[in-house]
Amino acid sequence: MPWSDPGGNGNKNDNNPWGRRPNAQKPVFDIQKITQELKKLGGIFGSGGGRGGGSKMDRKWLQLLPFLAVAILILFWVASGIYVVGPDEEGVVLRFGKEVGISQPGLHYRLPFPFERVYLPKVAQSHRLILGYGGAADSLNPGMMLTADGSVVDVRFAVQYRITNASHYLFATTNPDQLISYGAESAMRELVGRSKIDDLLTSARGAIEQQAQQITQNLLDRYHAGVTVNSVQLLQVAPPKAVQPAFTEVTTAREDMERVRNEAQAYASSVIPDAQGDANAMVTNAEGYKQRVVDRAKGDSARFTDILQAYQKNPKVVSERMYLHTMQDILSHTQKVIIESKGKPVIYLHMPVRAPMAVKGPTNSAAVTAPVVSIPSPVALTSSPAPLRIPISGARS
């Protein structure tokens, strides 16, 4: 046995020329046992040399091993035809490159490769493409477009679409997303070329989005792309960076103009109704005043006509009656003191103090003031305004 074999075959002697101690710890592996196992394995594989060679049963099993490996490989190859279609997918099965069927969501089987293969496009999802200006200062940037008034704008927009025909989507073109991009960019350039830059920056965005969606859909239908365009959304419409400050000033001025216009409209909306109400009230008052004046004039005219007719028939009676009515109006609003013609006896009629009043005549055109006669000093009067003195002898009853 070799010297390096720890412990030997039960030999207690220390045959180690390097002076191993007798009580040294044995290693965990046994080289002799490992060698014996290797010899047995060599016999199984038909080495034939050495003791303990493989039996006839082991050799027969070794001959069947290649067939077993081939059977396992065939089993895995057949099992590779099992596939699962997701709930948002649709399976397109090809046999030698030709479409042979459409698979719905669920578990399915196809012939293993290379006989059949399956594509699983996501038909229930909404796909999104961002196109146009990407922020680069390149003169060939696809987002730079020319407007109808000769201005250049950077346009960035998004296209949302959904797969409606999986076969057309997969096989109508080698790159479906590129076809959709080209169609959407063509439609957007056409619409931007028809519009002015002011409309693109303000009020025409919604109309352009709808028209771009329709034009893109028509182009894709013409090429049988198998997709439906759900929407086209303008994300950015801006002038080039070189002239952007000037456009910012123009936009600010336009916003100020709109703000001032809105304020003026609001002020007009608050003032005009009040003015119209005042005007209507003035017209109504004028109509009422006119009607009152006309009615009064007609009444005065009719009364004067009646008096004139009566006066023409009997002038003395009418004159006396008019005089009495006039004196009645005057005396009913003044204080009265009755004295004798010579000024000796005095009859004082005490009445409440009233402010002197102007007595209107028959035609309401002038006021008549009663005459005042002086009273002798011995007569005591109140502090009221000067009363009317009427001589008894000269008065008319």
Q: Which residue ranges of the chain lie beneath pLDDT 70?
A: 1-31, 34-35, 37-59, 134-142, 336-397
pLDDT tens-digit map of 226-270: 999 999 998 888 887 777 787 788 778 888 999 999 999 999 998
Residues with Cβ within 8 Å of residue 160, at least 6 apart in sequence? 126, 127, 128, 229, 230, 231, 232, 233
Q: Alpha carbon 136 to chain centroid distance?
A: 31
- Structure tokens that stand for 223 in this block: 């090429």
Cβ atoms 345, 356 nearer than 8 A: no
Residue 197 has a CB neighbour count (10 Å cut-off) of 20
- Structure tokens that stand for 165 in this block: 């025909």
Residue 234 has a CB neighbour count (10 Å cut-off) of 19
SS3 content of the chain, % helix, strand, coil (to 5): 45, 20, 35
The Cα 287–Cα 294 span in angstroms is 10
CA dihedral 56, 60, 65, 67 (to 10 degrees): 170
Q: Within 244-385, where are the H helices?
A: 244-313, 315-331
The Cα 293–Cα 279 span in angstroms is 21
